Amino acid sequence: MRTVTLAIGLAIAASNAVVAQAASHEHDMSQHQMAMPAASSEITHQSSGVLKAVNANENKVQIAHESIAELGWPAMTMWFTLSAPLPKNLKAGDTVRFEMLQGEKKQWVIVKIGRK
């Protein structure tokens, strides 16, 4: 019984370490394909977070966003592609609200962004 309890405890500790490690890493989800229920690519998802970095050359932004429950995403920092240039009044450090959808190539594209 003690061996089973120890094995279960080790399994729980290992899974918690994996979750903590994943939550602490930055993610470039612009090219990620996420397993999602069948849905139209025109469905937008909203979130907010802090604009961490801007790559104007590639039309991408890095955002430390809140969790997005409908996608099963925890809060994390990740890169997104923009559908249009970033508004000139936004800069790294700003708190933003944004809408995104999954693009034709299954990448996540921000279609609307502004100050929160």
Burial pattern 40-56, b for ≥16 Cβ within 10 A else e, equals eeeeebebebbbbebee
Per-residue pLDDT band for 2 (boundaries 50, 70, 90) equals low
DSSP letter (8 states) at residue 68: B
The CATH architecture one would assign to domain 28-115 is Beta Barrel (2.40)
Q: Is the pTM of this model over 0.85?
A: no
SS3 45: strand
pLDDT digits (tens, 9 = 90+) for 64-79: 999 999 999 999 999 9
Per-residue pLDDT band for 97 (boundaries 50, 70, 90) equals very high
pLDDT digits (tens, 9 = 90+) for 12-39: 444 444 444 444 445 555 444 443 443 4
Residue ranges per structural domain of the chain: 28-115
